[in-house]
Amino acid sequence: MPANKRPRKVNYSVNKKGPKSWWKVGKAIVHYKKLEKRIAFEGETKWLQNAMAIVCTKLKKYQINLNKI
């Protein structure tokens, strides 16, 4: 088999794209605001700390400054 051919056993469509997820940034900002309200109401719990770490990581990934939210 020549080296310039793609392997036939890899069965995938090169022309189709997967589903797109819209509004990721907006949902991350809304989630961050909700968590801030919960922390103000309930106080710092371990669950809220973990959730806040995850949301902050997403916002950092989307290059959103936390001071401007």
Query: For the chain, what are the domain ranges?
Result: 24-68
* Cα–Cα distance measured from residue 40 to residue 51, given in angstroms and rounded to the nearest whole number: 14
pTM (2 d.p.): 0.67
* Cα–Cα distance measured from residue 47 to residue 45, given in angstroms and rounded to the nearest whole number: 5
For the stretch 15-51, pLDDT in tens is 665 566 668 888 999 999 999 999 999 999 999 999 9
* Residue 59: closest CA among 35, 36, 22, 27: 27
Q: What pLDDT band is residue 56 in, cutting at 50, 70 and 90?
A: very high
